[in-house]
Amino acid sequence: MPETLRLEVTGLRRSFGGAPVVDDVSLAVAAGQVTCLLGPSGCGKSTTLRMIAGVERPDSGAIRIDGRAVFGAGVEVPPEGRSVGLMFQDFALFPHLTVAQNVAFGLTGEKAAKVRRVGDLLERVNLAGYGDKHPHELSGGEQQRVALARALAPRPRVMLMDEPFSGLDNRLRDGIRDATLEVLKEEGTAVLLVTHEPDEAMRMADEIALMRGGRIVQRGAPYNIYNAPVDKAAAAFFSDINVIRGVSRGALTDTPFGAFLTPGHADGAAVEIVIRPQHLKIDFDRGGRGPNPTVADGTPARGVVQRARYLGRESLVDFRMDHDGSVLTASVPGVFLPKAGTALWLMIRRDRCFVFGTGGR
């Protein structure tokens, strides 16, 4: 049985003043799945979400919710008929209504069933016993949980969330993200969550859709997006990166770190070998005798420590490389704070580097 697709978006486009802001976006979210639309500010994430919600009109494209067309081919269902739950950064509870009345707001039907649903949701967001309070009596995190309960109350087929955690205190955020994810999973709704924070996407998503300049440039599980980025910018979106430049000849590129396989790149083509700071390996100089690499380490290159910083979970060490004066940064778990001026050797883990052409892909 194929998975039920709760949300299907095909070829969505929207321009403002002639400039395309959302450019041929297609995506699909299954029941019980969280997809994060991730990208830098201004890349068109919110506009995409707003078109799905029905508050912004696409220039073209099609949107289906639960197998039913809500936009496209002459159809245009208004927002209230789309069975979507909305949660935005500014989720604005109704201040004059109690918590229970806020949660019950979008519910229709028989009173006893409404009361049961509200009680059940408040329990699930850990606010049992808060029903008679007013929003101003709650902390930011508690208000956020009421907003979540309110959005979920009518059992929307699709939840659309736009930076729902960004108004919260840093300290609270991780806990609330996890609790929210748990409730969303229990409800089995399909979730499309917009964020510009890679950490948030990695934490929440079953699938990440990475967006840039109005287009989705890569879709995949967090592991794949992080470990097989489609281009240099996609790699750089998730962490600092180091770039080693070279020229491909006979599907090999020679660098001070040895030769790298660069299949698929034409003879003479400039290539960039990209490696995240945590995948550079450091070895000692042993009083000038040099490093002791294993076969997998490849050729070590010498650098001199420029500065080292301790960031709590890891230490970041910047090296000025002997071969070309470039600066490479290595991250080491825990405390590693060599003095500036110390000569050390760096090696590149072949299985962890990415090779890209410089043709602007």
Ligand X SMILES: Nc1ncnc2c1ncn2[C@@H]1O[C@H](COP(=O)(O)OP(=O)(O)OP(=O)(O)O)[C@@H](O)[C@H]1O
In the complex, the residues that contact ligand X under the rule CB under 6 A are 16, 21, 39, 41-47, 196
Q: List the one residue out of 252, 268, 250 whose CA is nearest residue 260.
A: 252
Minimum separation from the CB atom of position 63 to ligand X (A): 16
CB neighbours (10 Å) of residue 140?
Answer: 12
Backbone angles phi, psi at 70, to 5 degrees: -110, -15
At a CB cut-off of 8 Å and minimum separation 6, what does 184 contact? 34, 152, 159, 191
Instruction: Name the residue nearer to ligand X (CB basis): 44 or 135.
Output: 44
Minimum separation from the CB atom of position 20 to ligand X (A): 9
Instruction: Name the residue nearer to ligand X (CB basis): 39 or 338.
Output: 39
Instruction: Name the residue nearer to ligand X (CB basis): 41 or 108.
Output: 41
The C-alpha atoms of residue 213 and residue 232 are separated, in whole angstroms, by 15
Contact between 300 and 347 under an 8 Å Cβ cutoff? The reply is yes
User: What are the start-end ranges of the H helices in 205-302?
Assistant: 222-227, 232-238
Minimum separation from the CB atom of position 46 to ligand X (A): 3
At a CB cut-off of 8 Å and minimum separation 6, what does 199 contact? none
Minimum separation from the CB atom of position 18 to ligand X (A): 11
Instruction: Name the residue nearer to ligand X (CB basis): 19 or 73.
Output: 19
Minimum separation from the CB atom of position 191 to ligand X (A): 17
Contact between 125 and 153 under an 8 Å Cβ cutoff? The reply is no
Minimum separation from the CB atom of position 188 to ligand X (A): 27
Contact between 61 and 12 under an 8 Å Cβ cutoff? The reply is yes
Instruction: Name the residue nearer to ligand X (CB basis): 44 or 131.
Output: 44
> Across the strands, what pairs with 12?
25
Instruction: Name the residue nearer to ligand X (CB basis): 84 or 282.
Output: 84
Instruction: Name the residue nearer to ligand X (CB basis): 236 or 252.
Output: 236
Minimum separation from the CB atom of position 173 to ligand X (A): 17
Contact between 279 and 226 under an 8 Å Cβ cutoff? The reply is no
Q: List the one residue out of 168, 211, 206 whose CA is nearest residue 189.
A: 206
